[in-house]
Chain A
Amino acid sequence: MIGDYKGTVKNKVVVALLQAYHDILDYDGMKSILREAEMMYIKDIRDENPNDSIDFFSFKKIISAQNCLLYDSSILLFEIGKKFSFYLFPFGIRFEEIIDEINASISTDWKVKIIENNENEIVVRVNKCIFCSEIGVPCDLFEGFLVHSLQKSLPSEHMVIYEIKKIDVNSPEHNNFVVKLRIKRNFK
Chain B
Amino acid sequence: MGDDKKRQWALKLALLGDPAVGKTSLIDKYITDSFNENYQPTLGVNIVTKDIKLEEINSDIRLLLWDIAGQAKYELTRKMFFQGCSGALFVYDKTRYSTFENITSKWLEDFIKFGKPDGVYILVGNKLDLKDSIKVSSEEGKLLSQKINATEFIETSAKYGENVEMAFKKLVLHILKKSGVKFELD
Contact = CB atoms under 8 A, between A and B. Distances in A.
B45 A74 contact: no
Nearest to A26: B44
Contact of B84 (A25, A26, A29, A73): A73
Given A71-B84, A72-B84, A25 B45 contact: yes
Contacts of A74: 83-84
B115 to A, nearest CB: 11
A71 B12 CA distance: 8
Interface in B66-113: 67, 69, 74, 77, 80-81, 83-84
A27 interface: yes
Interface string A84-115: 00000000000000000000000000000000
Contacts, number: 60
Q: How large is the interface on B (under 10, 10 to 19, 20 to 34, 35 or more residues)?
A: 10 to 19
A68 interface: yes
B119 to A, nearest CB: 12
A24 B64 CA distance: 18
Interface string A55-90: 000000000000011111111100100000000000
B54 interface: no
Contacts of B10: 71-72
A119 interface: no
Contacts of A75: 80, 83
B49 A29 contact: no
Given A26-B74, A28-B42, A72 B47 contact: no
Nearest to A35: B48
Contacts of B36: none
A72 to B, nearest CB: 3
A32 B84 contact: no
Contacts of A26: 43-45, 69, 74, 77
Contacts of A68: 49, 64
B80 A76 contact: yes
A36 interface: yes
Interface in B17-72: 42-49, 64, 67, 69
17 contacts: A26-B44, A28-B67, A29-B45, A32-B45, A33-B47, A36-B47, A68-B64, A69-B64, A70-B47, A71-B10, A71-B64, A72-B10, A72-B83, A72-B84, A73-B81, A73-B83, A76-B83
Interface of B: 10, 12, 42-49, 64, 67, 69, 74, 77, 80-81, 83-84
3 nearest A-B residue pairs (beta carbon): A26-B44, A72-B84, A32-B47
